[in-house]
């Protein structure tokens, strides 16, 4: 299994531009999580899905952020318009209900976003 | 989710056992204790979890006190590759995982 795959690995964009981060979870996993990590705030949970349905988006910082999961094998996190304070590493993680009780979440390698 | 407290940093000599403590005094009966670690620039990695019994796997051992208010993660023979931030988290299997600040473990040669 290739694990959780995120793309791109690095993204540099100008303030005001739209940014789309992508995630492919492990096949068979029905939970998907988006986290953001900064030096100041650590790892923050932004949103999570179960069976492609958003369950809790209370961590999404503001309306500029949106996340979708059109099918079980793909999710996107979009920032529009982007701002310098959005610069962070964004992680995607997936798991199954059974897996959470056995091996926890599997994280991707992250996308390092820099907004200039 | 219950809150956990961990030391900010620790160090350990290579080859020795690394014992990382965690307090979770407000943990409720159905909440597990999870440990993850994050090696620099990588995504967090699951290590182990337990409810009330001690647990062991190929990576580590988890010792949970009888009152479940604290636990210790044990890396039996620490290597330089174990240098990472270690996160202790408590929560139920159905809930989201919220990360705290963790313990920065340094392994010295």
- Contact between B99 and B44 (Cβ < 8 Å): yes
- Closest residue by Cα to residue A67 from A1, A19, A9: A19
Nearest chain B Cα distance for residue A14, angstroms: 23
The residue of A23, A54, A105, A106 whose CB has the most chain B CBs within 10 angstroms, and thus the best one to mutate to test that interface, is A105
Using a CB–CB cutoff of 8 Å, tell me whether B39 touches chain A.
Answer: no
Copy the structure tokens of residue B94.
Answer: 């159905």
B34 contacts on A by Cβ (under 8 Å): 104
Which residue of B43, B93, B99 is in closest CB contact with A42?
Answer: B99
- For A54-114, the DSSP string reads EEE-TT--STTEEEEEEETTEEEEEESS--GGG-EEEEEEEE-HHHHTTT--EE---EEEE
Closest residue in chain B to residue A33, using alpha carbons only = B96
What is the C-alpha separation between A88 and B12, in angstroms, rounded? 30
Using a CB–CB cutoff of 8 Å, tell me whether B1 touches chain A.
Answer: no
Using a CB–CB cutoff of 8 Å, tell me whether B79 touches chain A.
Answer: no
Measured torsion, CA atoms of residues B17, B92, A22, A81, in degrees rounded to the nearest 10: -110
- Contact partners, residue A45, CB within 8 Å, separation at least 6: A33, A34, A35, A56, A59, B96, B97, B98, B99
The residue of B3, B42, B46, B94 whose CB has the most chain A CBs within 10 angstroms, and thus the best one to mutate to test that interface, is B46
Question: Using one digit for the tens of pLDDT, what is the confidence trace for B91-107?
Answer: 876 667 888 899 999 99
A109 contacts on B by Cβ (under 8 Å): 42-43
Residue B94 φ/ψ, nearest 5 degrees: -95, -5
Query: What is the C-alpha end-to-end distance of chain A, expressed in Å?
Result: 36
Instruction: Give me the pLDDT at residue B93, please.
Output: 64
Instruction: Give me the pLDDT at residue B55, please.
Output: 95
- Please provide the average confidence, as pLDDT, over all residues in chain A: 93
Name the DSSP class of A26: P
Using a CB–CB cutoff of 8 Å, tell me whether A49 touches chain B.
Answer: no
What is the C-alpha separation between A44 and A38, in angstroms, rounded? 9
Q: Which of A24-28, A111-115, B24-28 has the lowest mean pLDDT?
A: B24-28
Please return the burial class of A34, using the count of CB atoms within 10 Å of its CB with bins 0-12, 13-18 and 19+.
Answer: buried
More confident position, B85 or A61: B85
- What are the C-alpha distances in Å from B76 to residues A21, A79, B14, B58, B85? 38, 43, 10, 10, 17
Copy the structure tokens of residue A112.
Answer: 């390092």
Q: Tokens 């039996």 identify what position?
A: B76
B101 contacts on A by Cβ (under 8 Å): 42
Instruction: Give me the pLDDT at residue B96, please.
Output: 76
Using a CB–CB cutoff of 8 Å, tell me whether B17 touches chain A.
Answer: no
Using a CB–CB cutoff of 8 Å, tell me whether A101 touches chain B.
Answer: yes
Confidence of residue A2 (pLDDT cuts 50, 70, 90): confident
Question: Using one digit for the tens of pLDDT, what is the confidence trace for B65-89?
Answer: 999 999 999 999 999 999 999 999 9
A48 contacts on B by Cβ (under 8 Å): 96
Confidence of residue A96 (pLDDT cuts 50, 70, 90): confident
Name the DSSP class of B96: P
């Amino acid at each position: 299994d290739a694990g959780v795959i995120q793309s791109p690995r690095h993204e540099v964009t100008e303030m005001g531009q739209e940014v789309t981060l992508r995630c492919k979870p492990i096949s068979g996993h029905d939970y998907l999580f988006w986290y953001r990590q900064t030096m100041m705030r650590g790892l923050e949970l932004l949103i999570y899905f179960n069976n492609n349905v958003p369950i809790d988006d209370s961590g999404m910082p503001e309306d500029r952020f949106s996340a979708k999961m059109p099918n079980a094998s793909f999710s996107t996190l979009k920032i529009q318009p982007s701002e310098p304070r959005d610069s962070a590493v964004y992680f995607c993680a997936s798991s199954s209900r059974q897996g959470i009780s056995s091996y926890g979440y599997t994280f991707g390698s992250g996308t390092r976003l820099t907004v200039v | 989710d219950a809150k956990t407290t961990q030391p900010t940093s620790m160090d350990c000599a290579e080859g020795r056992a690394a014992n990382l403590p965690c307090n979770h005094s407000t943990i409720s009966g159905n909440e597990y204790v999870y440990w993850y670690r994050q090696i620099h620039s990588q995504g967090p990695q699951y290590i182990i979890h337990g409810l009330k019994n001690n647990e062991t796997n190929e990576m580590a051992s988890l010792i949970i006190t009888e009152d479940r208010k604290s636990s210790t993660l044990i890396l039996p023979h620490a290597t330089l590759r174990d240098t990472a931030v270690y996160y202790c988290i408590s929560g139920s299997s159905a809930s989201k995982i919220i990360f705290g600040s963790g313990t920065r473990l340094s392994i010295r040669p």
